[in-house]
Amino acid sequence: MTDKDVKLNYGMTSCARFPLLLKAMKSSLLVSAHNLDCLFVISSDGDQIQVEHVRLPQLQGIALSDDQQRLSLAAYHQVWDYQRITALSDLHISVPSTQARDAVYYPCGAMTTGYLNTHDLAWGKEKLYMVNTRFNCIASPVYGKSFEVVWQPPFISALVAEDRCHLNGLALKHGEPAYVSYFSATDHRFGWREGSSFDGAIMRISDEQAVIQGLCLPHSPRIHQNYLYFCESGTGRLWRCSEARLPALKSDLELVAELNGFTRGLRILGDMAFVGLSKVRKAKDGSSRHIDMPLLEKQQELRSGICVIDLRDGSEIASLTFSGDLNQIYDVEIVFGCNNPLIFDSNAEELSDLFQL
């Protein structure tokens, strides 16, 4: 049985404003669901959402270059590279599935890195950065070897495949790595699994200082308009703090929104934040770690989906709700300038007749 033979068990429902918002933005949404090995491409005709998916194993991080021409995806032991074709007349042979599309992304290569448990991806000025969670470092994929180390936290003493601190999130500033998130400042194999869920922190790379500590399983740090935003996943919260006030105590942070889900995956556009929501899953190794996570005390069932938050007052602008097995979201990204993009599966038969000259 191939991946294409496996039927996905999921559903998506949206509020009335969600398809209108995507249409007005002339944009589409990319969502990675690592438990389903899928990249979901969500677009709108103005009346309802349209959903397609691309199968990629254990997909987590999504990165789009600033000019939207390159799309990179972190999937299990590889990093996939896609190129955007906006002027479809540039295609040497017209492929039927590209008709009525306003953009096409086709796979032009993949680098085999080995299983790094790559989390966040981000395109900088000159290179692609990836959070190499297994080796506890920020790295870049390089042809001819698994990766090139860019930076490592000061409390990590060796370059080993031991996931010692669960480094996961990366924020760029002016195209360079600026902040990272991690679960625990531990320096032994899977050390982050042993302590409290509130051992997490955000570290500033320039001076290697933990600028915010005592966080519950933080993810997705982002810089926007001189503010550091991040998800405190274990509490379902989205926080921000002026960079000028860092380092800061947790009591000094500004709460943007508290949501009914494991907040992970964040894309900010203007005054809007697209936030991914997941349900809390059991540990794969069967352990009962992080039982002090506040989300476990919620009486109501946790949501899985995408929530659009107004950064000015924390109100909900629109929402998309997932059901079935679609309950683990890692990353969220926005493709601008297209309401009907096509992202080819790397095994798509149409690729044999698609030529970009």
The per-residue pLDDT for 88 is 66
pLDDT tens-digit series, residues 4-27: 445 789 999 999 999 999 999 999
Name which of 191, 184, 186 is nearest 216 in CA terms. 184
The domains of the chain, with CATH numbers, are 3-353 (2.120.10.30)
Name which of 45, 53, 54 is nearest 21 in CA terms. 45
| Interatomic CA distance for residues 155 and 159, integer angstroms | 12
Assess contact for 39 and 32: CB atoms under 8 A: yes
The per-residue pLDDT for 94 is 66
| Span 79-92, average pLDDT | 80
- What does the mean pLDDT of the chain come to? 93
Q: What is the DSSP string of 37-56?
A: TEEEEEEE-SSSEEEEEEE-
The structure tokens listed for 186 are 């531990």
| Interatomic CA distance for residues 242 and 227, integer angstroms | 4
| Span 171-176, average pLDDT | 97
pLDDT tens-digit series, residues 281-306: 877 776 778 999 999 998 789 999 99
pTM of the predicted model, to two decimals? Answer: 0.95
Name which of 153, 144, 149 is nearest 130 in CA terms. 149
| Span 254-272, average pLDDT | 98
To 10 degrees, the CA torsion angle through 219, 265, 244, 138? 60
pLDDT tens-digit series, residues 198-242: 999 999 999 999 999 999 999 999 999 999 999 999 999 999 999
Name which of 69, 72, 34 is nearest 55 in CA terms. 34
Strand partners, 329: none
Name which of 313, 239, 231 is nearest 278 in CA terms. 231
| Interatomic CA distance for residues 103 and 336, integer angstroms | 10
